[in-house]
Structure 1
Amino acid sequence: MGVKCRACVAIVFILLLLGSMWLHGNLEDQWNTCSKFYNVKNKILSIIRVNSSDEDVAPLKVCPSQRFQVVDLLAHLQEAPVSTNDVLLKPYLASWDELIKFLEALGPMVGIISQEIESKTSIIRELAQKAEKEAEKDSKRMPQQSDPVLMISHDRLSFGYSSIRSMIKWELENGLVNFNKYTNSGCRTLLRLHRALLWLQNFLEELGKEAAEGESLRSPSDLCKETYQRTLAHHHTWWVRKAAELAFLAMPERPYFYQLVCVETQAEAAVVLNRVVKAIKEVYERNEVALQEHGMLDLP
């Protein structure tokens, strides 16, 4: 076997390892995609909502002929925060659907990471569907509520997976979370997504920065590697870290990212990416507080 052939085999092996161990956990045979239980009512209305949320900011554009739409990502992110400290689960997962499309658009070597992320969102969706079916069975056995206020409360507020905090409460009350060993819980899965979201937040923030005076813009590959090393890499084994860094070498150059978010210059990209990063930070910080309050930032 030649040197080049052995190198190809090594790369394939590393990528397979990356796909199986990403986000600090093996795949749990959750490949059957659940039906997406969060639907945007109307794409046009979503665009209007996003464009009207920031004053004196140019409207975002819909990019023709591509799956990833920054308009949809921002709409889901802005839909997720609720009350003063919670995050709705459906738009949160829908925002991950768009981020998965974003990663897939960066090519097969980077896109393989999205497979593990998608498996995590599927786990939470399956748990939510299971809990919803159990709640429906319980409601059929319960006496019919005559008070419409109580009925609304039961349907919208007591469902265990309606928001991040309600999911945490539900799983703790039903003994689904173990602080000493691995369990396939929504809280543990959320923590893995939470860590990955910090990485993407940092990467998009760096990607949106203008170059310092007298310096040139840094490559997306270098930015992705550095932001990974200071965030998600802390939760990965040495092998996974090296596999990830290998995948980042195949990261497209900046003009491709401009195309993804429908802009032509770095200045325009900075405006769009800063809006996305701001929305991600709002969601991330709320989830960070919720997980920290329940001692869940180090779930095995």
Structure 2
Amino acid sequence: MGVKSKAAAAILVLLLFLGSLWLQGGLDYHWDSCLKGYNQVNTLHQLYNSSGADGAEGPQVREGCPGQTFQVSLLLSHLLAASAETSDVLLQPYLASWDELVKFMEALGPMVGLISKEIESKTSIIRQLALLADGNPEAELGPEINSINSMSTEAGTKNDEEASQYNAAYHSVRSMILVELKRGVVDFQHQTDSGCRTLLRLHRALLWLKLFLEKLGETPVAGRLRSPSELCREAYQSTLANHHTWFVRRAAELAFIAMPERGFFYRLVCVQSQEELSTLLKTVVQSIGEVYDRTQKALDENGMLDLP
């Protein structure tokens, strides 16, 4: 085997290892995503063509980007649905948002795509926990769960049929936190596969992607647009790297080297210029930010930002 072949094999081994450790901790099981079929409940014209607070039209987003598996319009629709309830995040559209973000990562090539496999495993854990939460959690947990699940906006009420696919205990981030604390399945000292710990790992990864997309939408500095590889590495170093070992951080650096150039991202979301990309990504980042901030607050209020 030549030197180049050995180097390529070594890189592949490192990236496979990275995929298994990316969100801290390997998984003991992998479940099918039984509830992956989240149905859109918001029409796209309401989301993209509505007027903003200043009366200006919102960014025009194509409902479908031909030839792309990842669809930014679907991502935005799921994110909007996830934040439909007051001060809470609905889990079903939240996980559907991750389904689309996984497609985004896989579109960036096999090196980055390896990372998405661990994220898929994390979303599968929460979905499976929702399916296994049988019985009558409302009776077990008392009126608190009813209070949380009744804080719906008009938009959230329209989603009752779709939301009923999830057990009421896993209806939202706050209801999941409540039920898992009541049942004593959240361990603040040792690693568990609780929904709360799993959500925290997804939450950290969401901040990384949010920051990367924010940087990708930046306008040129001194006439120069920095490479996506550089931006992704920078976003990682200020977010997920804080929770990773030295070895995983080095392996991540290898994955980012293989990031495609900026023109690829134009094609991925069907825009023609950096200006159009910046406008679109601003909307995406704002939508992710709303979901992230609500999740951050719920986890912080329950002392869950440092679960092992």
- The alignment's TM-score, normalised by the length of structure 1, stands at 0.89
Deviations 1:71-115 (A, max 9, x none): 000011111114431111111111001000000000000111110
Which secondary structure state, in structure 2, belongs to the residue aligned with residue 134 of structure 1?
coil
Q: How does 1:1-300 map to 2 (within 5 A)?
A: 1-36=1-36, 38-41=38-41, 46-55=43-52, 56-61=57-62, 62-131=64-133, 133-135=134-136, 159-212=168-221, 214-300=222-308
What is the RMSD of the two structures over their aligned residues, measured on CA atoms? Answer: 2.4
What code does the residue aligned with 1:162 have? H
Shift of residue 25, structure 1, vs aligned partner:
1.4
Contact 2:205/2:240, CA 8 A, preserved across alignment: yes
What number of residue pairs does the alignment pair up? 283
Unmatched 5+ stretches in structure 1:
140-148
Contact 2:38/2:96, CA 8 A, preserved across alignment: yes
Change in Cα spacing, 1:54 to 1:181, as seen in structure 2 (3 Å) is farther
Shift of residue 215, structure 1, vs aligned partner:
2.8
Shift of residue 33, structure 1, vs aligned partner:
2.9
Q: Which is further off, 155-164 or 12-21?
A: 155-164
| In 2: Cα distance, 1:293 partner to 1:287 partner | 10
Contact 1:81/1:283, CA 8 A, preserved across alignment: yes
Contact 1:21/1:27, CA 8 A, preserved across alignment: no
Change in Cα spacing, 1:63 to 1:184, as seen in structure 2 (3 Å) is same
| In 2: Cα distance, 1:278 partner to 1:248 partner | 24
What code does the residue aligned with 1:57 have? G
Shift of residue 53, structure 1, vs aligned partner:
4.2
| In 1: Cα distance, 2:255 partner to 2:77 partner | 29
Contact 1:49/1:75, CA 8 A, preserved across alignment: no
Shift of residue 37, structure 1, vs aligned partner:
5.1
What code does the residue aligned with 2:75 have? L
Contact 1:120/1:193, CA 8 A, preserved across alignment: yes
| In 1: Cα distance, 2:17 partner to 2:50 partner | 42
Contact 2:88/2:295, CA 8 A, preserved across alignment: yes
| In 1: Cα distance, 2:274 partner to 2:65 partner | 17
Contact 1:46/1:72, CA 8 A, preserved across alignment: no
Change in Cα spacing, 1:40 to 1:21, as seen in structure 2 (3 Å) is same
Deviations 1:101-130 (A, max 9, x none): 000000000111110000000000000011
| In 2: Cα distance, 1:97 partner to 1:203 partner | 18
